[in-house]
Copies of this chain bind each other. A is one copy, B any other.
Amino acid sequence: MHHSSVTLDPAFRVAAVDPRVYGSFVEHMGRCVYTGIYEPGHGSADAHGFRADVADLVRELGTPVLRYPGGNFVSGYTWEDGVGPRENRPTRLDLAWRSLETNQVGVDEFATWARGVGSEPIMAVNLGTRGVDAARSLVEYANHPGGTRWSDLRRSNGFADPHGIKLWCLGNEMDGPWQIGHKTADEYARLANETAKAMRRVDPSIELVVCGSSNIRMPTFGTWEETVLRETYDAVDYVSLHSYYEQRGDDRGSFLASAVDLDRFIEAVVATCDHVRATGRHRKRINLSVDEWNVWYQARFPGEENLDWAEAPRLIEDEYSVVDAVVVGSLLISLLKHADRVKIGCLAQLVNVIAPIRSEPGGPAWRQTSFHPFALTSRHGRGTVLRVEPIGPSYETAEHGEVPILDATAVHDEETGAVTLFAVNRDQYEPLTLDVDLRSLPGLATAGHVALFDADPEATNTAANPDRVTPTRQPDTKVADGRLSVRLPPLSWNMLRLTS
């Protein structure tokens, strides 16, 4: 049995949680849109062709923002194809995923649907094959009230009110040689800056995310951000980072410590932002958008060049285990620990494609294992992140060196006084006793404890057995003398709700 301890004290805070850290991502890829959120022939489909069963699960998941329409897809996207009468919309070759794109869902449908499930759309513009003109036209189409070429087109398409999309991504993964229209850092920096300026002239109220690195192992990591931020510092608000994790071979110990890698990635990007701030004599700070992150077994993907042209093919439909769900919960802890700089996060993606929600064409929709820690963190992780500096044992990993067995953060809801502690026990075999010093929060008396774990860490949820893995309620614990002691099962994600 391991022992770790943490102290919670509202005098020591990281920052307020930006709810947009609980965002997700809808890409025109595989079956995320078609037969994912949208399937006109489905029994649950609404008047617009969107599946109500999936929409219900999205609401339950709790995603205040949804990034759209890519991803690699956006780097070849012609947004005008996706507006106007459906019967006139062209089918296009999507060069990113070697798929046929029918354009039956476009910006109007997506923005409307997103609002219906309680989310704000985040829109990405195509800086691969297109540039300033297409981007500023899309802002005008989406956000300008009317009386101009593009806003009047929106109105004539049946959307009298502007969509009012506030957050925009200046392309996607432009540092990646796999990207359609990949650019050098200098090329992208200039294009992003001029595009940002034009988009802001259409709508000065928008916020902009500039592309950082596709992952921390990119050979250009760090220098890319520096070059791009030097050029665009005044024109943008956030820099993006993308990061995917998977278990390599049988090294589960390293995989369970994935959040340590995400911590380092985030802290390195913060250092780069602040270095550019200092040398450029800027006063404002650039914050971070982790706008693609998840567990993704990339080793199992044959590569887009090995695919046949197809409409809504089954791409990267990873089935998540208990271990994967624990890692997803731990990655969310990393985002919260950096709440002072990480303001946006997008679990990639929402449905079917490496997603918390799965659906079958004409069939059911269900929650993957990773759905649960996400939904609970999004629901209860609102308020102010407290500094948590755990004391306890660590273990050696091949990939990340020495790593603490306990991963934890806490969020204080100043309105209700409740504190929610999120904690992962990374040990695969032994439970961990967690002692929580609550003397600075004397109102808190009881902890409701929910845990995700299983005797079989490889267990998954399937269409046939959709609730095989769910969080289970653990016995409530009482605070005694300002202290709480709770047992975290081996290889588990835990949520403790501390209330009066």
Digit string of A256-291 for contact with B (CB within 8 Å is 1, else 0)?
000000000001111111110111000000000000
Contact in complex: B268, A271 (CB < 8 Å): no
Contacts of A268 in B (CB 8 A): 274-275, 277-278
A selection of 8 A-B contacts at a CB cut-off of 8 Å is: A11-B391, A221-B278, A222-B279, A267-B274, A268-B275, A268-B277, A269-B278, A439-B439
Copies in the complex: 2
A10 to B277, CA, bound (A): 33
Q: Does A91 sit within 8 A of B, measured CB to CB? A: no
Which of A13, A269, A271 has the largest number of chain B CB atoms within 10 A? A271
Given the contacts A12-B12, A389-B13, A279 and B223 also touching, CB distance less than 8 Å: yes
Quick check: B389 and A279 within 8 Å, CB to CB? no
Is residue A207 within 8 Å, beta carbon to beta carbon, of the partner chain? no
Q: Tell me, in angstroms, the Cα distance from A387 to B268 when the chains sit together.
A: 23
CA distance A387 to B14 in the complex (A): 12
Q: Which 8 A-B pairs have the closest CB atoms?
A: A222-B279, A268-B278, A271-B274, A7-B11, A275-B275, A271-B275, A272-B275, A271-B271
A226 surroundings in chain B (CB, below 8 A): 275, 279
- Counting CB contacts under 8 A, is A440 at the interface? yes
Query: Residue A272 contacts which of B9, B12, B278, B387 (CB distance < 8 angstroms)?
Result: B278
CA gap between A12 and B226 in the complex, in Å: 33
**Known A267-B274, A278-B272: A11·B222 in contact at CB below 8 Å:** no
Report how far A391 CA is from B223 CA in the complex, Å: 38
Give the chain B neighbours of A311 by CB distance below 8 A.
Answer: none
Residue interface bits A1-32, CB-to-B below 8 A is 1, else 0: 00000110101110000000000000000000
Q: Is A152 an interface residue (CB 8 A)?
A: no
Q: Which residues of B contact A437 (CB under 8 A)?
A: 11, 440
Is A222 within 8 A of B7, CB to CB?
Answer: no
Complex Cα gap A270–B277 (Å): 12
Residue of B nearest to A280 (CB): B222
Since A7-B12, A221-B279 are in contact, a sample of 18 more A-B pairs with Cβ atoms closer than 8 Å, ordered by chain A residue number, is A7-B9, A11-B389, A11-B391, A12-B12, A12-B387, A222-B278, A222-B279, A223-B279, A269-B278, A271-B275, A271-B277, A271-B278, A272-B275, A272-B279, A274-B275, A387-B387, A437-B440, A439-B439
Q: Note all chain B residues with C-beta closer than 8 A to A7.
A: 9, 11-12, 440
B-chain residues with CB within 8 Å of residue A221 when the two chains form the complex: 278-279
Cβ distance A243 to chain B, nearest Cβ, rounded Å: 14
Enumerate chain B residues within 8 angstroms of A272, measured Cβ to Cβ.
Answer: 271, 275, 278-279
Kindly list chain B residues whose C-beta atoms are within 8 Å of the C-beta of A9: 7, 9, 11-12, 440
- Report how far A347 CA is from B396 CA in the complex, Å: 42
A2 CA to B13 CA, complexed, in Å: 23
Docked complex Cα distance between A437 and B441 (Å): 13
- A440 to B440: give the CA distance in the assembly, Å: 8
Contact mask for chain A residues 380-392; partner B; CB cutoff 8 A; 1 contact, 0 none: 0000000101010
Residues of chain B lying within 8 A (CB to CB) of residue A439: 439-440
Q: Which residues in B have their C-beta under 8 angstroms from that of A273?
A: 271
CB-based nearest B residue for A437: B11
| CB-CB nearest in chain B for A216 | B278
A284 to chain B, nearest CB (A): 13
- The smallest C-beta distance from A163 to any residue of chain B, in angstroms, reads 37
CB distance from A443 to the nearest CB of B (A): 15
Tell me the bound Cα distance from A110 to B277 in angstroms.
41
Chain B hits for A222, CB < 8 A: 275, 278-279
